Chains A and B, each alone.
Chain A
Amino acid sequence: MEGPPVLELRGITKRFPGIVANDHIDLDLRRGEVHALLGENGAGKSTLMNVLYGLYKHDEGEILLNGEVVQLKSAKDAIDRGIGMVHQHFMLIPVMTVAENIVLANEPTRAGIFLDEDAAAARVRELAKTFKFEIDPNALVADITVGQQQRVEILKALYRSADILILDEPTAVLTPQEALELFEILRILRTEGMSIIFITHKLNEVLEIADRISVLRRGKKVDTVAREGATEAGLAQLMVGREVVFRVEKQVPKPGEALLQVEDLHVFDDREIEKVRGVSFEVHAGEIVGIAGVDNNGQSELIDALAGLRHAASGTITMGGKTFEKATPKEMTDEAGLGHIPEDRHLRGLILDFSLAENLALHDYRHRPDSKMGWLFPKHLITRAQRLLPEFDVRGGGPLSPASSLSGGNQQKVVLAREIDRDPKVLIAAQPTRGLDVGAIEYVHRRLIAERDEGRGILLVSLELDEIFALADRILVMFEGEVVAEYSPDVSENTLGLAMTGITKDAAAK
């Protein structure tokens, strides 16, 4: 690890409308090191790497490779200079084979035009062997596991003789076992002289694999530390650096009867993979149950099944004494008394081109007084909006303004207003504060706690541990489709984090 840094970023700044994603960031990467880039969601990590990979153009600053200033105009530029990137969302073509994906745009040919499939397969096998992993060059990408797909992405970079490898949140989609295998591969690559940047927001990984760690916070680089001497607590402090920790004041919960009972639920996704494997739990009146877990461990499918958007293969959902099987969304909202704040408000929660009044009426337009025998009375929609908008502190528009004209936080308030106004017994809140600013987050948290105190049962699903800790009265951890643990909110973050990776005390004992 001697000599000039193989890569240096000086003063990199990148702006988007309304936000400075990267603010004068300095970073250097030494040859043969694994350098972790740590930060929360929205800290600017992915933007920085997209700048490095030529996909974004930086507004200020310089990039130096081996001491020389370079201009990266495109991904091809970056590739030609030996920078390889493994994106979080894989850039693979499912209907093509592993070999085809790897050699794309640099194909070995016969007579200059014909694709030499055998040579491609051979080259792929050779590369894989050098780095000691197994892959079938002729398998279709659609048919291999996610972990294997990631290896294909790595091979793509190696095939193009990359000597700098960037991995963007690589373990987000892996099982713990696959993650360990990935780290093995990274160690081998490091021995071969590869320099690696590893983007993550997970503290335990960083301590496992990194040589040095740079922490980003809100677009700025906070510090770069060596692994020796770094602790989780110390890193967390740098990452979060909180002046203010927003834990909304809340009373002790007084849970009542069970409003929602889920028993042994099994749900399959669109690709016939079982995503919910026998989940059972209850939500009582006056409590907030938080489901914590890494993304893509079955939470989305669980919510879909509860909301009637997906049919469970087996198991029961009971609300108010009635069992609902193969219910439609309409049945769940109207009969069961379920409210649902969906995960993605732009895609599912709101119709951006509809007015606020229309959005607020999305569940009720079929009934009186909004309509009668199919005939709509817009006046009533407006009246409802006039009542709800001030009550939920929605700013930036009136009943007739299109939902698109509001800020994210206000849009989410509209969704809340719509769901809560129907007086649901149980309210599902999925990632309710994703992408919101601090003020909006505070409002949503306050509101959810207030609704809990009104006697509703709230099921909160969140990827943000802070939110879980702030709101939940009971915490369930989902991992690979099962509820693997239940904790009270005074559990340590460490234990919770481990449980999210499948390591609970019981599992550890096995």
Chain B
Amino acid sequence: MTAAPITPERTKHWSEWVAAKHIAIVGIVLGMTGGWIALPPVAVRTVTIPLFLSILAIAAGIWAVARDVKRPGWGAIAAGIFGITLALLALQSSDPHLRSVFTWGTLIAATLRYATPLTYGALGGLVSERSGVVNIALEGMMLMGCFFGIWGSATTGSWVGGLLIAMAVGGLTAFIYGIFAIHFRADQIVGGTAVNFLAVGITGYLFIQIYGSNGTPDLTNAESIPDVHLSFLGNGFFGQVLGQLNLMIWLVFALLFVVYFLVFKTSIGLRLRAVGEHPRAADTVGIDVYLTRYIAVTISGVLAAMGGAYLSIGFVHSFNENMTEGRGFIALAALIFGKWRPFGAFGAACLFGFSTALAYAVPSAYTDSASSILRSGALFQTLPYILTLVAVAGVIGRSVAPAADGKPYVKQ
């Protein structure tokens, strides 16, 4: 019979809250639908239906916000606005244009290809940050994997060799970063930035040293990671999406489940998360905080490097200096957007991959459009970053990192 906690009268009855939240979610769905039906394959060509759905969505949102269910409520309002905007934009362009951009099969396949390196990176970042070590150096580790993957493949003559070497180098890079972050208790962001500098320098240096500035022929002949052909899927939607994906993409699907189970359903994962949330508590029950963090950071390097290796020997089939072009940072963004959970991060990576895919698909379809935005396509590439800013600002709900993230642990 403990003293009841003293709560202010602000809490409402839980049933009110639940009902309003449901309405808000319905609103979000309606808003999204309003936008989606204007696109192929449905391609409604009048504005009335999307407008109607959007108004419903906004109304639902206002209803929810008024009942103090803020986040889903604002989400519904945003979805309504988004839906009607998307519909209006779609109506501006002609049907054949839309259809050539929005062939969903190839678009989704492209999305998966772009999302894969991001997902590897995000998974790596997840493991590291769950143990409490911030990993800004995903970009550098990915780049190391990128170069050493293709170098390894060209040198050993097999893509397996290339992949393994990439993983080893990525792990080693991460381990060195770990020494500075964990043992020397250096500022993790400074250390990560340093690793990124070093990765660009080392990979660039070795690239020019070994292959000269016109070295690419040697590299394009390196053995690539094979695609997995699933001819039984035929040529329809599923065939377009899943029929010809690279092995690494299937591998990353599998890894999503592996990481999920490992981190959230095993005792190893429990200890990992304990170290990231409250290292002193973990220490007092006998968990070796330093060892856990070293292992986590090393694994993150291996995963990031795999993403880089996919880029060079699975996707582009060559290498150029600073090839990753910030994908490591987008991976970090996907992780944050996905709230430090594997499937969330994958979803975010797909969203970001989709904007990249659009960025390439749109200009080729809109070569004679009046709008320079559509002809250029470059602005679509800003979407991942804008979305992450939104996420970080807490607009879609607080993105909460593990509590001890970024703080060096001092054992007394």
Contacts and interface: CB of A to CB of B under 8 A. Distances in A.
Indicate yes or no for A touching B, C-beta below 8 A: yes
Interface of A: 53, 55-56, 74-76, 79-80, 85, 87, 91-96, 100-101, 104-107, 109, 113-115, 145, 147-148, 156, 175, 177-178, 181, 268, 272-274, 277, 313, 481
A56 B412 contact: yes
Contacts of A268: 8
A274 B8 contact: yes
11 contacts: A75-B284, A87-B284, A91-B278, A93-B273, A95-B277, A96-B277, A104-B270, A145-B5, A156-B285, A177-B3, A181-B2
Given A75-B284, A145-B3, A313-B8, 9 more contacts: A74-B286, A85-B284, A93-B274, A105-B271, A105-B285, A105-B286, A113-B267, A145-B2, A177-B3
A105 B286 CA distance: 7
A92 B1 CA distance: 22
A481 B6 CA distance: 11
Contact of A55 (B1, B3, B284, B403): B284
A219 B267 CA distance: 41
A79 B287 CA distance: 12
Contacts of A277: 6
A488 to B, nearest CB: 30
Given A75-B283, A113-B267, A114-B265, A104 B274 contact: yes
Contacts of B47: none
Contacts of A93: 273-274, 277-278, 281
B189 interface: no
Contacts of B255: none
A181 B2 CA distance: 9
A105 B288 CA distance: 10
Given A177-B2, A178-B3, A113 B280 contact: no
A93 B273 CA distance: 10
A107 B6 contact: no
Interface in B1-31: 1-3, 5-8, 10
Interface string B392-412: 000000000001000000001
Interface of B: 1-3, 5-8, 10, 261, 265-271, 273-274, 277-278, 280-287, 403, 412
Contacts of B284: 53, 55, 75, 85, 87, 91
B412 A96 contact: no
Nearest to B4: A145
Nearest to B2: A147
Contact of A273 (B7, B268, B278): B7
B2 A100 contact: no
A175 B278 CA distance: 26
Contacts of B8: 268, 272-274, 313
A24 B6 CA distance: 46
Nearest to B412: A55
Given A93-B274, A115-B265, A115-B266, A104 B282 contact: yes
A274 B270 CA distance: 34
B347 to A, nearest CB: 22
Contacts of A92: 278, 281
A115 B286 contact: no
B270 A115 contact: yes
B402 to A, nearest CB: 9
B273 A96 contact: yes
Pairs A-B, 5 closest by C-beta atoms: A76-B286, A91-B281, A107-B267, A105-B285, A75-B284
Given A104-B282, A104-B285, A95 B267 contact: no
Given A76-B286, A100-B270, A91 B3 contact: no
Contacts of B273: 93, 96
A79 B270 contact: no
B287 A104 contact: yes
Contacts of B10: 272
A306 B33 CA distance: 52
Nearest to A95: B277
A273 B1 contact: no
Nearest to B5: A145
A274 B283 CA distance: 34
B5 A273 contact: yes
Nearest to A85: B284
A87 B281 CA distance: 10
B385 to A, nearest CB: 29
B410 to A, nearest CB: 12
A114 B270 contact: no
A55 B411 CA distance: 9
A113 B2 contact: no
Given A55-B412, A96-B273, A105-B271, A75 B7 contact: no
A93 B284 CA distance: 12
A79 B403 contact: no
Contacts of B268: 113
Given A104-B271, A113-B268, A75 B1 contact: no
A114 B266 contact: yes
Contact of A178 (B2, B274, B278, B283): B2
Nearest to A90: B281
A113 B278 contact: no
B342 to A, nearest CB: 17
A510 to B, nearest CB: 16
Nearest to B264: A115
Contacts of A94: 277-278, 403
A177 B287 CA distance: 35
Contacts of B267: 107, 109, 113-115
B126 to A, nearest CB: 16
A270 to B, nearest CB: 13
A274 B1 contact: no
B26 to A, nearest CB: 29
A159 to B, nearest CB: 10
Given A55-B412, A145-B5, A107 B270 contact: yes
Contacts of A76: 285-286
B183 to A, nearest CB: 18
Contacts of B277: 93-96
Given A55-B412, A79-B285, A96-B273, A273 B2 contact: no
Given A75-B285, A107-B267, A91 B280 contact: yes
Contacts of A272: 7-8, 10
B85 to A, nearest CB: 37
Contact of A113 (B6, B7, B266, B274): B266
A370 B179 CA distance: 47
Most buried by A among B283, B286, B287: B286
Contacts of A107: 267, 270
A313 B10 CA distance: 12
Nearest to A76: B286
A274 B274 contact: no
A480 B273 CA distance: 35
B10 to A, nearest CB: 7
